[in-house]
């Protein structure tokens, strides 16, 4: 089918490529021309605005940084709602605040446009091989209608509840990932300073209770001193901001999240905002005066 796709960054590009490989016609827009050129080379068709994409497509996917970007693309000038016909479906796969998803959903409903929130976990490698975990909020009938398309990009797509529930689930995911990277960094700094080779520690414990997908993905990067993103510290700050704000609204204190947030803020102030979030290890390296390397 014909699909509109807005937001061609680290995640959007491989997701577009997988849709094209599965035989779909994909019309695209991004504010960065070189990102558009990259996917046009692979068979996508360029449009001049989000509005122009929406005029031509009854299914729209957005993959943008945060709430303000999705609001601009959907509700702003030359945005999707200016071009969309009633019954158009918008699948917002960005990680944004659940409250923003609810606000955008209401603006869409006024024009007869349907919207679900469907953020993802798995990062660039899983976007490339089409095995993302997708968490969805919104009307179940709309989820059922787009399920097959979601499964082109993901290995699983779970309907979590009403609009915003996908992003609430994603916030829980991001809290777990940030705290897990911090725990791994803290523990590996302990063993490094006590004189044990980090690779031996990793091999000894990865199959036990302390093992995790995060440890498997991040320890090889940390021990090589490779902090190329991946998932940027700046984006994780954005997610933890959304988590802390939501936590305060619903009365769920997040003391550990707040601590890791300050580590991320320290790293950003030190010029590391564009590093991969495995760079949390660098915070420990600074305060302990040692590096975790093989
Ligand atoms: P990115 O910054 O690489 O890409 C975002 C893209 O959106 C850019 O190409 C940017 O030019 C475009 N954009 C911004 N404003 C726009 C506008 N008004 N109109 C059109 N295009 C616009 O970000 P990313 O890493 O691809 O992440 C996208 C979303 O996915 C974020 O919410 C992020 O938190 C989430 N996510 C990222 C990862 C990851 O590992 N990178 C993993 C899971 C989820």
User: Does residue 170 have a pLDDT over 90?
Assistant: yes
Specify whether 13 is catalytic: no
Q: Tell me the pLDDT band of 97, cut-offs 50, 70 and 90.
A: very high
N residues, the chain: 294
CA 105 / ligand 1 centre spacing (Å):
20
Q: Tell me the pLDDT band of 230, cut-offs 50, 70 and 90.
A: confident
- The CATH topology of domain 2-162 is Rossmann fold (3.40.50)
Domain boundaries, the chain: 2-162, 168-288
Q: What is the pLDDT of residue 119?
A: 98
Q: Is the CB of 67 under 6 A from ligand 1?
A: no
Q: Tell me the pLDDT band of 235, cut-offs 50, 70 and 90.
A: very high
User: Does residue 121 have a pLDDT over 90?
Assistant: yes
CA 187 / ligand 1 centre spacing (Å):
31
**Atom 41 of ligand 1 has which residue's CA nearest to it?**
231
Of 51, 170, 218, 232, the catalytic one is: 170
Q: Does domain 168-288 have CATH number 3.40.50.1400?
A: no
Beta bridge partner(s), residue 117: 92, 137
| Distance of alpha carbon 169 from alpha carbon 147, whole angstroms | 18
- pTM of the entire predicted model: 0.95
Q: Tell me the pLDDT band of 206, cut-offs 50, 70 and 90.
A: very high
CA-nearest of 71, 144, 72 to 101 is: 71
């Amino acid at each position: 089918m014909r699909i509109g796709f807005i937001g061609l960054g680290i995640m959007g590009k491989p997701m577009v490529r997988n849709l094209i490989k599965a035989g779909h016609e994909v019309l695209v827009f991004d504010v960065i021309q070189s990102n558009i050129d990259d996917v046009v080379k692979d068979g996508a068709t360029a449009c001049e605005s989000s509005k122009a994409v929406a005029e031509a497509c009854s299914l729209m996917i957005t993959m943008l940084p945060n709430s303000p970007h999705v609001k601009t693309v959907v509700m702003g000038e030359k945005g999707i709602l200016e071009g969309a016909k009633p019954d158009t479906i918008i699948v917002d796969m960005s990680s944004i605040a659940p409250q923003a998803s609810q606000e955008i959903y209401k603006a869409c409903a006024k024009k007869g446009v349907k919207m679900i929130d469907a953020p993802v976990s798995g990062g660039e490698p899983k976007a490339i091989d089409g095995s993302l975990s997708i968490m969805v909020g919104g009307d179940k009938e709309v989820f059922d209608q787009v399920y097959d398309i979601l499964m082109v990009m993901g290995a699983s797509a779970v309907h979590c509840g009403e609009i915003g529930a996908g992003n609430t689930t994603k916030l829980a995911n991001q809290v777990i990932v940030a705290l897990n990277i911090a725990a791994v960094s803290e523990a590996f700094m302990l063993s490094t300073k006590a004189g044990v080779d980090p690779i031996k520690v990793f091999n000894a414990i990865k199959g036990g209770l302390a093992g995790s997908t995060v440890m498997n993905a991040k320890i090889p990067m940390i021990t090589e001193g490779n902090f190329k993103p991946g998932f940027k510290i700046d984006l994780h700050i954005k997610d933890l901001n959304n988590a802390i704000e939501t936590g305060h609204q619903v009365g769920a204190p997040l003391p550990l999240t707040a601590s890791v947030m300050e580590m991320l803020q320290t790293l950003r102030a030190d010029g590391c905002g564009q590093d991969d979030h495995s760079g949390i290890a660098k915070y420990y390296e600074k305060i302990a005066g040692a590096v975790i390397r093989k």
